[in-house]
Amino acid sequence: MTAIYDMTRRVTMHDVNSDVNYDDMDADVQDFFTDSNQPYYHERNQYTIEKLPDKVLRDIFQYLSPKQVCSYSSKISFQINQVGLVCKRWRVISQNPLLWKFVSFRPNYGGIQVNPQCIDFFIQLIGTRFSELRIVELATDLITPNVLYELANKAPKLQYLTLDFSTAMQLHDFTDLQSFPSRLKSLTICLSENIFLEGFLRKVYTFISSVETLHIIGTYEKVEDEEEEVYETVNIFKLKQFLPNMRVVNLWGVPFITDEHVDAISSNCAHLECLCVNYCPKVTGACLKLVLQRCRKLKTLFLAHTSRFYNTKPPEICLNSELDNNIVKMVDWEKTRIEELDIKGTELNSEALISILTRLPHLRWLDASWLENMTDQVLEAWQNSNAMGSLQFLNMDTCDSINEQALVDMIKRHGHQFHGLCLGGQHKLLEYFWMNMIPQLRNIRVMVMGIAEDCCPKVVAKIHVDQFIDCIAQNCPRLTRLEVRWDDETLRFSDKSRYKLHTAFTVTNNFYFSKFIDVLRMKCLMLHSIVLSDGQYYELVRSNFERADRMSVVRTTEMCRTGLLHCSRYFNQLLFN
């Protein structure tokens, strides 16, 4: 009941479902409160949640996750109390297909666990409970011919499908598979280490021509720790022939992907707009020139960590996985429409970085974090080329080779255009730098500063965080996310800026509140995430925001990190798991 109350309180704050007809809801609520002249105590006794119309209850239930709404029988196990178990009426409402537009059946990722002995019962529900499905995620046990056939015929609105083979030990027999969802916009395939999917894919090739977003999720984490042979479990050369309409391709952590595979995909995807090969160890960049010539609409290119793989293995068996500097410099970057580039964690040298950055006039989003060769010379050449005019989001986390003065010159020249800036992990940037630079960042929305507790070298100077907070509050009204990584031993805040609760509030006297945090909370009204190192200052800030009924704003660096990926135009399309 507490969850229901919380959802009703927030029902007017967020429009989570565009299909909700709020005009009808208002009419139902108006009919519900017909007699407004009755005494308050009489209204309270007469009008309870039991009197709400079914349509209003259904709209409230749409704010809950499927696990909370679910009202299966004991045939399918759950770990939390279900709304459908409250009463018979709520059970009937919870079975409405409109409440089941997105369902995950992947228990490893918080989805619903289906008992293997009750697959037949689950199949029966597809035609009744899940007829309005838009998004569904299936674990290995549920990827069967019967389940796929029912989804194809009983869920005509299905557009996003995830097939998770990552835990598969053996595939089902797909010889009799005659039908597959044919209106998909997005298809996600999670690979196994040694299960070949060609037999399955051969049956579905003719049904997936409508797919616009393709995710192939590899086994990067597993292969890194095991010295085993890498198998090509998916035939990329054949798969690309049946996907002519792809706009977004995400090949994440696939150990067998090479430049030849990427080149093959681009040869049949004239509409490709986003290409991601993060954590693909064998990509050297040899395909980039042809890919960028063929795919004129390509705006987003992610090449993160294509050079740091198998670093725990002996050098004689390590893969040659570095982006080739000479090949990268030969690409005609100035003729492309690249707006977003991720080269995080690569081993590109300074000359290659200058060659890339100075020839991308449309670049608006760049992740250049963890680059040892990102130097003052690169930054200076980039600015002098006038190719930084469109840049809005810049991540240079842990680029230790850049000096403070180079960053000062960059922010003074381009700070007004930055919406996101991550300069964490740099021990040289302390209080003096930020106090002078924050006034230049008046349009900033995402900002990261400081170094983590376990980073070296250790910060010796003390950071007076009160001045930071006040400066941010006065100069950054559009700020939405802030991360301060300095630990509690480095941060200093004055006792004079704090006051006890009992002087102004009737709450426990053991807490203090800072007037600077009050100013930040009232000035930066769009701020919904503050990430701090765990300690006394974190408790101080968290208590302040909780007092203002903003419970989820303040978080610790152990549980949350702030980045710029959510600012990418293709962030939603690139999400998986």
For residue 420, CA distances in Å to 316, 480, 483, 562, 568 come to: 41, 10, 12, 11, 11
Element (H, E) at 555: strand 554-556
DSSP 229: P
Residue 136: other Cβ atoms inside 10 A: 26
Rounded to 5°, the CA angle 343-349-350 comes to 100
Output helix, strand, coil percentages for the chain, rounded to the nearest 5: 40, 15, 50
Q: How far apart are CA 245 and CA 202, in angstroms?
A: 19
Which residues does 531 contact at the CB level (< 8 Å), separation at least 6? 481, 482, 483, 484, 485, 555, 556, 557, 560, 561, 562
**Residue 160 pLDDT:** 95
Domain 411-497+511-576: assigned CATH number: 3.80.10
- Report which residue type is found at 153: N
Which residues does 367 contact at the CB level (< 8 Å), separation at least 6? 304, 341, 342, 343, 344, 395, 563, 564, 565
Asked if 307 and 280 touch (Cβ cutoff 8 Å), the reply is no
Q: How far apart are CA 201 and CA 148, in angstroms?
A: 13
Asked if 436 and 411 touch (Cβ cutoff 8 Å), the reply is no
The share of the chain scoring above pLDDT 70, in percent, equals 80
Report domain extents, the chain.
Answer: 52-99, 411-497+511-576
**Residue 513 pLDDT:** 55
Q: For every one of its 577 residues, what pLDDT tens digit does the chain have, with 9 covering 90 and above? A: 344 434 433 333 333 344 445 455 455 444 544 444 444 444 555 667 778 888 888 888 777 766 544 544 333 334 334 677 778 888 888 778 888 888 888 888 888 888 878 888 888 888 888 888 899 999 998 999 999 999 999 999 999 999 999 888 888 888 888 899 999 999 999 998 888 888 899 999 999 999 999 999 988 766 554 455 778 888 999 999 999 999 999 999 998 999 999 999 999 888 999 999 999 988 999 999 999 999 999 999 999 998 644 343 333 334 445 678 889 999 999 999 999 999 999 989 999 999 999 999 999 999 999 999 999 999 999 999 999 999 999 999 999 899 999 999 999 999 999 999 999 988 889 889 999 999 999 999 999 999 876 655 566 678 888 888 999 999 999 999 999 999 888 888 765 555 544 444 334 434 445 688 889 999 999 999 999 999 888 999 999 899 888 888 999 998 899 999 999 999 999 998 7
Element (H, E) at 545: helix 536-547
Rounded to 5°, the CA angle 180-185-188 comes to 75
